[in-house]
Chain A
Amino acid sequence: MALKTDEPLIHLKGITFSYPGAEPVLDGLDLQFRRGEKLGLVAPNGSGKTTLLHIIMGLLKPDSGQIEIFGKPVREENDFLEVRHRIGLLFQDSDDQLFSPTVLEDVAFGPLNLGKSKQEAIDIARKTLAYLGLDGFESRITFKLSGGEKRLVSLATVLAMEPEVLLLDEPLNGLDAKTREAITQILALLDLSYIIISHDIDFLATTTNAIYTMQAGRILLDNKLYAHEHVHVHPHGTYPHKHE
Protein backbone atom coordinates (compact mmCIF):
# COMPACT_ATOMS: atom_id res chain seq x y z
CA MET A 1 0.00 0.00 0.00
CA ALA A 2 1.44 3.33 -1.05
CA LEU A 3 1.63 5.64 1.87
CA LYS A 4 2.63 9.25 1.51
CA THR A 5 5.56 9.95 3.77
CA ASP A 6 3.85 12.82 5.52
CA GLU A 7 0.68 10.86 6.13
CA PRO A 8 0.34 9.66 9.73
CA LEU A 9 0.60 5.91 10.35
CA ILE A 10 -1.92 6.23 13.15
CA HIS A 11 -4.42 9.04 13.08
CA LEU A 12 -6.99 9.31 15.86
CA LYS A 13 -9.66 12.00 15.66
CA GLY A 14 -11.88 12.94 18.57
CA ILE A 15 -11.78 9.53 20.27
CA THR A 16 -14.07 9.23 23.25
CA PHE A 17 -14.21 6.10 25.34
CA SER A 18 -15.71 5.26 28.70
CA TYR A 19 -15.94 2.01 30.62
CA PRO A 20 -19.48 1.13 31.70
CA GLY A 21 -20.68 3.22 34.61
CA ALA A 22 -17.65 5.50 34.71
CA GLU A 23 -16.52 8.91 33.50
CA PRO A 24 -14.92 8.88 30.04
CA VAL A 25 -11.21 7.96 30.20
CA LEU A 26 -10.61 9.29 26.72
CA ASP A 27 -12.45 12.47 25.83
CA GLY A 28 -12.00 13.91 22.36
CA LEU A 29 -8.48 12.54 22.03
CA ASP A 30 -6.45 13.39 18.93
CA LEU A 31 -3.22 11.73 17.92
CA GLN A 32 -1.08 11.79 14.80
CA PHE A 33 1.71 9.29 14.82
CA ARG A 34 4.11 9.33 11.87
CA ARG A 35 6.61 6.87 10.51
CA GLY A 36 9.95 7.02 12.29
CA GLU A 37 8.51 8.58 15.40
CA LYS A 38 9.50 7.17 18.76
CA LEU A 39 7.02 8.42 21.24
CA GLY A 40 6.89 8.12 25.01
CA LEU A 41 3.68 8.39 26.98
CA VAL A 42 3.82 9.09 30.67
CA ALA A 43 0.73 9.78 32.71
CA PRO A 44 -0.83 8.81 36.03
CA ASN A 45 -2.44 5.42 36.49
CA GLY A 46 -5.97 5.27 35.20
CA SER A 47 -5.50 8.09 32.73
CA GLY A 48 -6.31 5.86 29.77
CA LYS A 49 -2.90 4.98 28.33
CA THR A 50 -3.56 1.25 28.04
CA THR A 51 -7.08 1.98 26.81
CA LEU A 52 -5.58 4.10 24.05
CA LEU A 53 -3.31 1.28 22.85
CA HIS A 54 -6.20 -1.19 22.95
CA ILE A 55 -8.31 1.18 20.87
CA ILE A 56 -5.55 1.42 18.26
CA MET A 57 -5.47 -2.40 18.07
CA GLY A 58 -9.25 -2.64 17.85
CA LEU A 59 -9.54 -4.54 21.13
CA LEU A 60 -11.82 -1.82 22.44
CA LYS A 61 -14.30 0.12 20.36
CA PRO A 62 -14.47 3.88 20.95
CA ASP A 63 -17.83 5.45 21.77
CA SER A 64 -17.16 8.10 19.15
CA GLY A 65 -14.38 9.42 16.94
CA GLN A 66 -12.48 8.15 13.91
CA ILE A 67 -9.44 5.94 13.58
CA GLU A 68 -7.28 5.94 10.49
CA ILE A 69 -4.37 3.53 10.37
CA PHE A 70 -1.94 3.33 7.45
CA GLY A 71 -4.09 5.94 5.75
CA LYS A 72 -7.25 3.86 5.85
CA PRO A 73 -10.26 4.30 8.13
CA VAL A 74 -10.73 1.29 10.42
CA ARG A 75 -14.01 0.51 12.11
CA GLU A 76 -15.02 -3.13 11.95
CA GLU A 77 -13.27 -6.17 13.38
CA ASN A 78 -12.20 -7.15 9.84
CA ASP A 79 -10.50 -3.78 9.28
CA PHE A 80 -8.36 -4.43 12.33
CA LEU A 81 -7.04 -7.78 11.11
CA GLU A 82 -4.53 -6.01 8.90
CA VAL A 83 -3.75 -3.49 11.65
CA ARG A 84 -2.80 -6.34 13.96
CA HIS A 85 -0.46 -7.77 11.35
CA ARG A 86 1.40 -4.51 10.99
CA ILE A 87 1.27 -3.15 14.53
CA GLY A 88 2.59 -5.22 17.43
CA LEU A 89 1.35 -4.71 20.99
CA LEU A 90 3.41 -5.82 23.99
CA PHE A 91 1.07 -6.41 26.91
CA GLN A 92 1.74 -5.23 30.43
CA ASP A 93 1.53 -8.73 31.84
CA SER A 94 3.60 -11.28 29.94
CA ASP A 95 1.43 -14.09 31.27
CA ASP A 96 -1.33 -12.69 29.08
CA GLN A 97 0.86 -12.90 26.04
CA LEU A 98 2.48 -16.31 26.39
CA PHE A 99 -0.08 -19.07 26.22
CA SER A 100 1.64 -21.86 24.31
CA PRO A 101 3.37 -24.65 26.19
CA THR A 102 6.80 -23.96 24.73
CA VAL A 103 8.67 -20.81 23.79
CA LEU A 104 9.19 -21.83 20.16
CA GLU A 105 5.50 -22.52 19.66
CA ASP A 106 4.55 -19.20 21.18
CA VAL A 107 6.93 -17.21 19.01
CA ALA A 108 5.88 -19.17 15.90
CA PHE A 109 2.17 -18.63 16.63
CA GLY A 110 2.01 -15.17 15.03
CA PRO A 111 3.88 -16.09 11.83
CA LEU A 112 1.70 -19.22 11.46
CA ASN A 113 -1.41 -17.04 11.74
CA LEU A 114 0.03 -14.84 9.01
CA GLY A 115 -0.01 -17.89 6.75
CA LYS A 116 3.63 -18.90 6.91
CA SER A 117 4.47 -22.56 6.55
CA LYS A 118 5.58 -24.49 9.61
CA GLN A 119 9.20 -24.44 8.56
CA GLU A 120 9.15 -20.73 7.75
CA ALA A 121 7.51 -19.99 11.09
CA ILE A 122 10.08 -22.04 12.96
CA ASP A 123 12.91 -20.27 11.10
CA ILE A 124 11.46 -16.84 11.89
CA ALA A 125 10.94 -17.82 15.53
CA ARG A 126 14.51 -19.08 15.89
CA LYS A 127 15.91 -16.00 14.18
CA THR A 128 13.89 -13.68 16.43
CA LEU A 129 14.90 -15.53 19.57
CA ALA A 130 18.54 -15.41 18.52
CA TYR A 131 18.26 -11.69 17.79
CA LEU A 132 17.04 -11.10 21.34
CA GLY A 133 19.79 -13.26 22.80
CA LEU A 134 17.39 -16.07 23.63
CA ASP A 135 19.12 -18.91 21.81
CA GLY A 136 18.47 -22.22 23.47
CA PHE A 137 15.09 -21.12 24.84
CA GLU A 138 13.11 -22.91 22.12
CA SER A 139 11.85 -25.85 24.13
CA ARG A 140 11.61 -24.05 27.49
CA ILE A 141 8.17 -24.16 29.10
CA THR A 142 6.65 -20.66 29.00
CA PHE A 143 5.20 -20.57 32.49
CA LYS A 144 8.45 -21.73 34.05
CA LEU A 145 10.41 -18.74 32.70
CA SER A 146 11.49 -15.95 35.04
CA GLY A 147 9.74 -12.59 34.84
CA GLY A 148 12.52 -11.05 32.77
CA GLU A 149 12.69 -14.01 30.39
CA LYS A 150 8.91 -13.90 29.98
CA ARG A 151 9.08 -10.25 28.97
CA LEU A 152 11.85 -10.88 26.43
CA VAL A 153 10.01 -13.87 24.96
CA SER A 154 6.84 -11.75 24.78
CA LEU A 155 8.81 -9.16 22.85
CA ALA A 156 10.03 -11.96 20.57
CA THR A 157 6.43 -13.07 19.91
CA VAL A 158 5.59 -9.53 18.82
CA LEU A 159 8.74 -8.97 16.75
CA ALA A 160 8.33 -12.33 15.00
CA MET A 161 5.34 -10.84 13.20
CA GLU A 162 7.68 -8.25 11.67
CA PRO A 163 5.50 -5.30 12.58
CA GLU A 164 6.02 -1.77 11.27
CA VAL A 165 4.93 -0.18 14.52
CA LEU A 166 5.34 -1.32 18.12
CA LEU A 167 3.09 -0.38 21.01
CA LEU A 168 4.76 -1.17 24.33
CA ASP A 169 2.69 -1.08 27.49
CA GLU A 170 5.05 -0.56 30.43
CA PRO A 171 7.78 -2.80 29.02
CA LEU A 172 10.04 -2.39 32.06
CA ASN A 173 7.36 -3.09 34.64
CA GLY A 174 8.67 -5.37 37.35
CA LEU A 175 12.00 -6.12 35.70
CA ASP A 176 15.46 -6.25 37.20
CA ALA A 177 18.29 -3.92 36.15
CA LYS A 178 19.78 -6.45 33.73
CA THR A 179 16.59 -7.07 31.77
CA ARG A 180 15.75 -3.35 31.77
CA GLU A 181 19.13 -2.71 30.24
CA ALA A 182 18.58 -5.48 27.67
CA ILE A 183 15.21 -4.07 26.61
CA THR A 184 16.59 -0.53 26.42
CA GLN A 185 19.40 -1.77 24.15
CA ILE A 186 17.04 -3.74 21.93
CA LEU A 187 14.75 -0.74 21.44
CA ALA A 188 17.70 1.52 20.66
CA LEU A 189 18.75 -0.85 17.85
CA LEU A 190 15.27 -1.38 16.39
CA ASP A 191 14.49 0.52 13.24
CA LEU A 192 10.79 0.77 14.01
CA SER A 193 8.31 3.44 14.93
CA TYR A 194 6.96 2.91 18.40
CA ILE A 195 4.88 4.26 21.25
CA ILE A 196 6.02 3.38 24.77
CA ILE A 197 3.98 3.74 27.90
CA SER A 198 6.21 3.98 30.94
CA HIS A 199 6.62 5.73 34.24
CA ASP A 200 10.37 5.69 33.86
CA ILE A 201 11.48 9.05 32.48
CA ASP A 202 15.14 8.01 32.16
CA PHE A 203 14.12 5.07 30.03
CA LEU A 204 11.86 7.20 27.83
CA ALA A 205 14.56 9.85 27.50
CA THR A 206 16.99 7.30 26.03
CA THR A 207 14.54 5.38 23.85
CA THR A 208 12.12 8.02 22.52
CA ASN A 209 12.38 11.38 20.84
CA ALA A 210 9.21 12.96 22.19
CA ILE A 211 7.41 12.51 25.47
CA TYR A 212 3.73 13.14 25.83
CA THR A 213 1.42 13.04 28.75
CA MET A 214 -2.32 12.62 29.08
CA GLN A 215 -4.69 14.91 30.87
CA ALA A 216 -8.46 14.91 31.02
CA GLY A 217 -8.61 12.17 28.40
CA ARG A 218 -6.39 13.98 25.88
CA ILE A 219 -2.76 13.80 24.86
CA LEU A 220 -0.53 16.79 25.50
CA LEU A 221 3.04 17.35 24.45
CA ASP A 222 4.76 17.72 27.76
CA ASN A 223 7.73 20.01 27.45
CA LYS A 224 8.25 20.09 31.17
CA LEU A 225 9.43 16.53 31.06
CA TYR A 226 12.44 17.43 28.96
CA ALA A 227 13.61 19.76 31.69
CA HIS A 228 13.26 17.00 34.23
CA GLU A 229 16.17 17.22 36.52
CA HIS A 230 17.58 14.18 38.14
CA VAL A 231 18.21 14.72 41.81
CA HIS A 232 17.85 11.77 44.07
CA VAL A 233 19.84 9.44 46.22
CA HIS A 234 20.82 5.97 45.18
CA PRO A 235 20.07 3.59 48.01
CA HIS A 236 20.74 0.57 45.80
CA GLY A 237 24.43 1.02 45.13
CA THR A 238 24.81 -2.35 43.42
CA TYR A 239 22.21 -1.52 40.80
CA PRO A 240 23.04 1.95 39.58
CA HIS A 241 21.01 3.31 36.72
CA LYS A 242 22.30 5.40 33.92
CA HIS A 243 21.98 9.15 33.65
CA GLU A 244 22.20 10.53 30.17
Chain B
Amino acid sequence: MISEPFATGESIIHRLDPRIRIVFACAYCFVVAFSKRFPVLLAAVAISSALMSISGLSLKAVGKRLVLVNGLVLFLWAVVPLTYGGEPFFQIGRLSVSRAGVLLSAQMTLKSNAILLAFIALIATMTSATLGYALKKLAVPQKIIHLLLMNYRYVFVIEQEYQRLIRAAKIRGFRPKTDLHTYRTYAYVIGMLLVRAASRAQRVHQAMLCRGFNGRFFSLQKFTTGSNSWIFSLVMTIIIIGLTILEWSV
Protein backbone atom coordinates (compact mmCIF):
# COMPACT_ATOMS: atom_id res chain seq x y z
CA MET B 1 0.00 0.00 0.00
CA ILE B 2 1.34 3.37 -0.97
CA SER B 3 1.10 5.83 1.86
CA GLU B 4 1.96 9.46 2.36
CA PRO B 5 3.70 9.38 5.73
CA PHE B 6 5.12 12.89 5.41
CA ALA B 7 1.94 14.63 4.29
CA THR B 8 0.44 14.99 7.73
CA GLY B 9 2.28 17.22 10.12
CA GLU B 10 2.03 20.46 11.97
CA SER B 11 5.34 22.11 11.19
CA ILE B 12 5.70 25.60 9.76
CA ILE B 13 6.47 24.07 6.38
CA HIS B 14 3.28 22.01 6.38
CA ARG B 15 1.30 25.19 6.92
CA LEU B 16 2.94 27.19 4.12
CA ASP B 17 0.96 27.86 0.96
CA PRO B 18 1.47 24.74 -1.23
CA ARG B 19 1.77 26.84 -4.38
CA ILE B 20 4.67 28.79 -2.94
CA ARG B 21 6.34 25.60 -1.78
CA ILE B 22 6.08 24.10 -5.28
CA VAL B 23 7.37 27.21 -7.02
CA PHE B 24 10.39 27.62 -4.75
CA ALA B 25 11.19 23.91 -4.58
CA CYS B 26 11.38 23.87 -8.38
CA ALA B 27 13.40 27.08 -8.69
CA TYR B 28 15.80 25.96 -5.98
CA CYS B 29 16.26 22.53 -7.54
CA PHE B 30 17.01 24.05 -10.94
CA VAL B 31 19.79 26.18 -9.48
CA VAL B 32 21.24 23.23 -7.56
CA ALA B 33 21.00 20.93 -10.56
CA PHE B 34 22.98 23.33 -12.74
CA SER B 35 25.60 24.21 -10.15
CA LYS B 36 29.09 22.74 -10.32
CA ARG B 37 31.08 24.48 -7.61
CA PHE B 38 31.56 22.59 -4.38
CA PRO B 39 30.93 25.52 -2.03
CA VAL B 40 27.55 26.00 -3.71
CA LEU B 41 26.69 22.31 -3.52
CA LEU B 42 27.76 22.02 0.10
CA ALA B 43 25.72 25.10 0.93
CA ALA B 44 22.76 23.55 -0.85
CA VAL B 45 23.03 20.34 1.18
CA ALA B 46 23.15 22.45 4.34
CA ILE B 47 20.11 24.52 3.30
CA SER B 48 18.12 21.41 2.35
CA SER B 49 19.01 19.80 5.66
CA ALA B 50 17.85 22.93 7.43
CA LEU B 51 14.50 22.79 5.57
CA MET B 52 14.31 19.14 6.49
CA SER B 53 14.77 19.83 10.19
CA ILE B 54 12.20 22.64 10.13
CA SER B 55 9.68 20.23 8.56
CA GLY B 56 10.01 18.02 11.63
CA LEU B 57 9.81 14.76 9.68
CA SER B 58 11.07 11.55 11.21
CA LEU B 59 14.78 11.29 10.41
CA LYS B 60 14.52 7.54 10.26
CA ALA B 61 11.82 7.57 7.58
CA VAL B 62 13.66 10.21 5.56
CA GLY B 63 16.89 8.24 5.99
CA LYS B 64 15.25 5.20 4.43
CA ARG B 65 14.40 7.19 1.34
CA LEU B 66 17.89 8.62 1.16
CA VAL B 67 19.38 5.13 1.33
CA LEU B 68 17.30 4.18 -1.67
CA VAL B 69 18.60 7.04 -3.79
CA ASN B 70 22.14 6.74 -2.53
CA GLY B 71 22.17 3.11 -3.58
CA LEU B 72 21.91 4.42 -7.11
CA VAL B 73 24.57 7.02 -6.39
CA LEU B 74 26.86 4.28 -5.11
CA PHE B 75 26.44 2.54 -8.41
CA LEU B 76 27.57 5.75 -10.14
CA TRP B 77 30.65 5.84 -7.89
CA ALA B 78 31.47 2.29 -8.97
CA VAL B 79 31.24 3.09 -12.65
CA VAL B 80 31.87 6.75 -13.44
CA PRO B 81 35.41 7.26 -11.97
CA LEU B 82 36.65 4.17 -13.80
CA THR B 83 35.13 4.94 -17.15
CA TYR B 84 35.15 8.73 -17.36
CA GLY B 85 38.69 8.99 -18.69
CA GLY B 86 40.95 12.05 -18.63
CA GLU B 87 43.70 12.73 -16.17
CA PRO B 88 44.14 9.84 -13.71
CA PHE B 89 43.69 10.61 -10.02
CA PHE B 90 45.38 7.43 -8.81
CA GLN B 91 45.87 3.88 -9.96
CA ILE B 92 44.61 0.62 -8.46
CA GLY B 93 46.57 -2.05 -10.19
CA ARG B 94 45.76 -1.64 -13.86
CA LEU B 95 42.65 0.44 -13.22
CA SER B 96 43.06 4.17 -13.42
CA VAL B 97 40.62 6.30 -11.46
CA SER B 98 39.88 9.53 -13.28
CA ARG B 99 40.03 12.82 -11.37
CA ALA B 100 37.20 14.35 -13.38
CA GLY B 101 35.17 11.21 -12.79
CA VAL B 102 35.58 11.44 -9.01
CA LEU B 103 34.64 15.12 -9.06
CA LEU B 104 31.59 14.43 -11.18
CA SER B 105 30.47 11.62 -8.87
CA ALA B 106 30.93 13.86 -5.83
CA GLN B 107 28.90 16.61 -7.50
CA MET B 108 26.12 14.20 -8.33
CA THR B 109 26.06 12.84 -4.79
CA LEU B 110 25.70 16.31 -3.29
CA LYS B 111 23.18 17.47 -5.88
CA SER B 112 20.91 14.47 -5.64
CA ASN B 113 20.86 14.56 -1.85
CA ALA B 114 20.26 18.31 -1.72
CA ILE B 115 17.42 18.10 -4.25
CA LEU B 116 15.87 15.05 -2.63
CA LEU B 117 15.95 16.59 0.84
CA ALA B 118 14.42 19.82 -0.42
CA PHE B 119 11.66 17.95 -2.24
CA ILE B 120 10.88 15.77 0.75
CA ALA B 121 10.77 18.82 3.00
CA LEU B 122 8.69 21.00 0.68
CA ILE B 123 6.65 18.72 -1.59
CA ALA B 124 6.26 15.41 0.24
CA THR B 125 4.75 17.40 3.08
CA MET B 126 1.51 17.83 1.10
CA THR B 127 -0.93 15.16 -0.04
CA SER B 128 -1.09 14.26 -3.71
CA ALA B 129 -4.53 15.83 -3.83
CA THR B 130 -3.19 19.12 -2.54
CA LEU B 131 -0.28 18.88 -4.95
CA GLY B 132 -2.74 18.37 -7.81
CA TYR B 133 -4.89 21.34 -6.89
CA ALA B 134 -1.89 23.57 -6.23
CA LEU B 135 -0.47 22.69 -9.65
CA LYS B 136 -3.85 23.51 -11.14
CA LYS B 137 -3.73 26.94 -9.51
CA LEU B 138 -0.26 27.33 -11.01
CA ALA B 139 -1.78 26.88 -14.48
CA VAL B 140 -0.36 23.43 -15.15
CA PRO B 141 -2.48 21.87 -17.97
CA GLN B 142 -5.70 20.20 -16.73
CA LYS B 143 -4.90 16.92 -18.45
CA ILE B 144 -1.69 16.43 -16.49
CA ILE B 145 -3.53 17.14 -13.26
CA HIS B 146 -6.31 14.69 -14.14
CA LEU B 147 -3.65 12.08 -14.82
CA LEU B 148 -2.01 12.74 -11.48
CA LEU B 149 -5.21 12.71 -9.44
CA MET B 150 -6.80 9.74 -11.19
CA ASN B 151 -3.59 7.73 -10.90
CA TYR B 152 -3.43 8.61 -7.26
CA ARG B 153 -7.01 7.51 -6.72
CA TYR B 154 -6.93 4.26 -8.68
CA VAL B 155 -3.42 2.99 -8.14
CA PHE B 156 -4.74 1.50 -4.90
CA VAL B 157 -7.68 -0.17 -6.55
CA ILE B 158 -5.45 -1.61 -9.24
CA GLU B 159 -2.97 -2.78 -6.65
CA GLN B 160 -5.81 -4.57 -4.88
CA GLU B 161 -6.84 -6.22 -8.12
CA TYR B 162 -3.25 -7.29 -8.67
CA GLN B 163 -3.11 -8.79 -5.19
CA ARG B 164 -6.38 -10.58 -5.85
CA LEU B 165 -5.04 -12.14 -9.04
CA ILE B 166 -1.80 -13.17 -7.37
CA ARG B 167 -3.71 -14.69 -4.46
CA ALA B 168 -5.94 -16.57 -6.88
CA ALA B 169 -2.81 -18.04 -8.46
CA LYS B 170 -1.19 -18.78 -5.11
CA ILE B 171 -4.10 -20.66 -3.57
CA ARG B 172 -3.94 -23.01 -6.50
CA GLY B 173 -0.35 -23.81 -5.76
CA PHE B 174 1.41 -21.34 -8.06
CA ARG B 175 5.03 -20.77 -7.11
CA PRO B 176 7.17 -18.61 -9.34
CA LYS B 177 10.03 -20.49 -10.95
CA THR B 178 12.24 -19.86 -13.93
CA ASP B 179 10.13 -21.59 -16.50
CA LEU B 180 7.65 -20.93 -19.24
CA HIS B 181 4.69 -21.69 -16.99
CA THR B 182 5.73 -18.89 -14.61
CA TYR B 183 6.27 -16.41 -17.43
CA ARG B 184 2.96 -17.34 -18.97
CA THR B 185 1.16 -16.94 -15.63
CA TYR B 186 2.69 -13.52 -15.08
CA ALA B 187 1.78 -12.54 -18.61
CA TYR B 188 -1.82 -13.57 -17.91
CA VAL B 189 -1.83 -11.62 -14.64
CA ILE B 190 -0.53 -8.48 -16.33
CA GLY B 191 -2.88 -8.92 -19.27
CA MET B 192 -5.81 -9.44 -16.94
CA LEU B 193 -4.79 -6.41 -14.91
CA LEU B 194 -4.79 -4.25 -18.04
CA VAL B 195 -8.19 -5.55 -19.09
CA ARG B 196 -9.61 -4.98 -15.62
CA ALA B 197 -8.07 -1.53 -15.37
CA ALA B 198 -9.61 -0.63 -18.72
CA SER B 199 -13.06 -1.81 -17.75
CA ARG B 200 -12.68 -0.11 -14.38
CA ALA B 201 -11.83 3.11 -16.20
CA GLN B 202 -14.93 2.71 -18.31
CA ARG B 203 -17.16 2.16 -15.29
CA VAL B 204 -15.67 5.15 -13.48
CA HIS B 205 -16.29 7.27 -16.55
CA GLN B 206 -19.89 6.03 -16.69
CA ALA B 207 -20.38 6.88 -13.03
CA MET B 208 -19.00 10.34 -13.70
CA LEU B 209 -21.33 10.82 -16.68
CA CYS B 210 -24.25 9.86 -14.46
CA ARG B 211 -23.35 12.78 -12.25
CA GLY B 212 -23.24 15.22 -15.12
CA PHE B 213 -19.48 15.19 -15.81
CA ASN B 214 -18.67 17.41 -18.77
CA GLY B 215 -14.91 17.34 -18.84
CA ARG B 216 -14.31 19.83 -16.07
CA PHE B 217 -13.05 19.19 -12.59
CA PHE B 218 -13.66 21.50 -9.69
CA SER B 219 -11.42 22.05 -6.76
CA LEU B 220 -12.90 22.97 -3.44
CA GLN B 221 -9.55 23.51 -1.83
CA LYS B 222 -8.76 27.11 -1.02
CA PHE B 223 -5.18 28.20 -0.61
CA THR B 224 -4.29 31.13 1.54
CA THR B 225 -0.95 32.85 1.55
CA GLY B 226 -0.19 33.90 5.11
CA SER B 227 2.63 36.12 6.29
CA ASN B 228 4.79 33.03 6.97
CA SER B 229 4.50 32.11 3.30
CA TRP B 230 5.71 35.55 2.26
CA ILE B 231 8.65 35.38 4.68
CA PHE B 232 9.47 31.93 3.30
CA SER B 233 9.31 33.32 -0.25
CA LEU B 234 11.67 36.11 0.67
CA VAL B 235 14.17 33.76 2.33
CA MET B 236 14.07 31.31 -0.57
CA THR B 237 14.52 34.13 -3.10
CA ILE B 238 17.59 35.34 -1.22
CA ILE B 239 18.95 31.79 -1.05
CA ILE B 240 18.39 31.17 -4.75
CA ILE B 241 19.97 34.46 -5.77
CA GLY B 242 22.84 33.85 -3.32
CA LEU B 243 23.56 30.40 -4.74
CA THR B 244 23.37 31.73 -8.28
CA ILE B 245 25.83 34.51 -7.53
CA LEU B 246 28.17 32.10 -5.76
CA GLU B 247 28.07 29.74 -8.72
CA TRP B 248 28.23 32.07 -11.66
CA SER B 249 30.07 35.16 -10.48
CA VAL B 250 33.79 35.55 -10.89
Contact = CB atoms under 8 A, between A and B. Distances in A.
Contact of A84 (B127, B154, B211): B211
B161 to A, nearest CB: 10
A59 B212 contact: no
Given A84-B210, A110-B212, A96 B203 contact: yes
B210 A89 contact: yes
A99 B210 contact: no
- A contacts with B: majority SS: helix
A95 B157 contact: yes
A93 interface: yes
Query: Which range contains the number of B residues in contact with the other chain?
Result: 20 to 34
Contacts, number: 77
A103 to B, nearest CB: 11
Interface in B71-130: 127-129
A3 to B, nearest CB: 21
B37 interface: no
A96 B161 CA distance: 13
Given A91-B203, A96-B204, A108-B220, A161 B211 contact: yes
B214 interface: yes
A57 interface: yes
A109 interface: yes
A101 interface: yes
B128 A96 contact: no
A104 interface: yes
Nearest to B129: A101
B144 to A, nearest CB: 16
Interface in A62-121: 81, 84-85, 88-89, 91, 93, 95-97, 99-102, 104-105, 108-110, 112-114, 118, 121
27 contacts: A57-B206, A57-B209, A59-B206, A59-B210, A81-B212, A84-B209, A85-B212, A89-B210, A93-B203, A96-B204, A97-B207, A99-B207, A99-B208, A100-B153, A101-B127, A101-B128, A101-B129, A101-B132, A102-B129, A105-B218, A109-B208, A109-B211, A112-B218, A113-B213, A118-B218, A121-B218, A161-B212
Given A96-B203, A101-B129, A143-B156, 19 more contacts: A54-B206, A57-B209, A89-B210, A91-B203, A93-B203, A95-B157, A96-B204, A96-B206, A96-B207, A97-B207, A99-B204, A101-B132, A101-B152, A102-B129, A113-B211, A118-B218, A118-B220, A143-B157, A161-B211
Interface of B: 127-129, 132, 149-150, 152-154, 156-157, 200, 203-204, 206-214, 216, 218-220
